[in-house]
Structure 1
């Protein structure tokens, strides 16, 4: 992701939480999902584990995009 002025910035937990909230529109659901919901697409790891321990925020953002697009997109 390229920010203003040409600096490169990697997505982080805040980006993932904002994107999830844009989809779910419920802070408690997003919080529960981020911290507790195992994601089968990622071997049962939570979004938090992927983002904060694995540096995979972009993968989680892509996953959220695919969920919003629907199964046939």
Structure 2
């Protein structure tokens, strides 16, 4: 993402008045999921998503997702819809057909980032 798009993308997920906090509600809306799905993927109780959205574990999970989505966005030529679709639904053979979203949920953010970097370099794409 260029800095202008990057700022708008992140700004869209920030909780109004709480700039460093990412909004689980806005994330849910952007990805078209529900609170139960976010909680399951983040490995937290649903109450964390709904009652304590500023909890460190949910904020860390959202930031990790954004790292991967941003990397995918950069490789996709700036197509956010394509990046989100890839993140949520594309089975990745090198990860046992798990999606990037599933990999992030399993704590394997750096593995997904390396994969995306290899796409950028032309090695795996």
Superposition TM-score tier, normalisation by shorter sequence: 0.7 to 0.9
Higher relative contact order (CA 8 A, sep 6+): 1
Query: What does 1:42-61 align with in structure 2 at a 5 Å threshold?
Result: 42-52=95-105, 54-61=106-113
Does residue 15 of structure 1 match 2:67? Answer: yes
Deviation at 1:70, TM superposition (A): 1.2
Which aligned segments of 4 or more residues in structure 1 are displaced greater than 4 angstroms? none
Total equivalences in the alignment: 62
Counterpart Cα distance in 1 of 2:123 and 2:68: 20
In structure 1, which of residues 33, 42, 55 is the aligned counterpart of residue 86 of structure 2?
33
- Structure showing greater Rg: 2
Deviation at 1:71, TM superposition (A): 2.4
Return the TM-score normalized by structure 2. 0.46
Cα RMSD for the two superposed structures: 1.8
Return the TM-score normalized by structure 1. 0.78
Task: Answer 1 or 2: which has greater strand percent.
Answer: 2
Counterpart Cα distance in 2 of 1:30 and 1:61: 13
Q: Deviations over 1:16-61 (max 9, x none)?
A: 1111111111011011100000001101000000002x10000000
Counterpart Cα distance in 2 of 1:45 and 1:71: 20
Contact map agreement 2:75 2:119 (CA 8 A) in 1: no
Consecutive unaligned residues in structure 2, runs of 5 or more: 1-59
User: Secondary structure of 1:45's match?
Assistant: coil
